[in-house]
Structure 1
């Protein structure tokens, strides 16, 4: 009786181990991929917390849009455009492309 239970449990474990999910490629952009950060937002994190008036953004290479808490913005996506998010006291809270 013990041997039969052991065989059933062992067979069940073998069958369940075959149901393991195969590893897949990560979804989304890879770190260091130029296409994942076309506007250079990842390089500007050190400016978080500064006042937006203290910073002069280089607008020659890319357009820049300042986005406040109550700003009305268009929904068009332009990957090369740098969006600078600010709070009500005009401090920079983050950056993103689009």
Structure 2
């Protein structure tokens, strides 16, 4: 019995052609990312109106002014290396300072 490689090649080519070309699956456009305004309790501590204090040198007087303007019942000042609880409290205003006691970030939590 003689073996002819070409006799195997022709059926394989025919099988490959019979599957046909498939169109790529259409994809829907991804939904837009959520906006900060859409997230509930994102500003429960009043951080939004006091963002202009970022970059200022921190003082107790400035802390009181931030607390008054934000309306936050709880204010926490965090310096680099400070131990802090990891519980998230949307109504607590966190004032993050850098190593020079300059306000780096103000956020709820």
Unaligned runs of 5+ in 1: 1-7
Larger Rg: 2
Q: Distance in 1 between matches of 2:54 and 2:72?
A: 21
3-state SS in 2 of match to 1:52:
coil
Counterpart pick for 1:47 among 47, 50, 53: 53
Normalised by the size of structure 1, how large is the TM-score? 0.68
Counterpart pick for 2:84 among 59, 63, 73: 73
Unaligned runs of 5+ in 2: 1-19
Q: Distance in 2 between matches of 1:81 and 1:26?
A: 26
With over 3 angstroms needed to count, the CA separation of the structure-2 counterparts of 1:61 and 1:36, relative to structure 1, is closer
Q: Distance in 2 between matches of 1:39 and 1:32?
A: 16
With over 3 angstroms needed to count, the CA separation of the structure-2 counterparts of 1:32 and 1:42, relative to structure 1, is farther
1:23 pairs with 2:34: no
The number of aligned residues is 85
Partner in structure 1 of residue 102 of structure 2: 91
Superposition CA RMSD, Å: 2.5
Alignment of structure 1 residues 29-40 onto 2, 5 Å: 30-31=36-37, 35-40=41-46
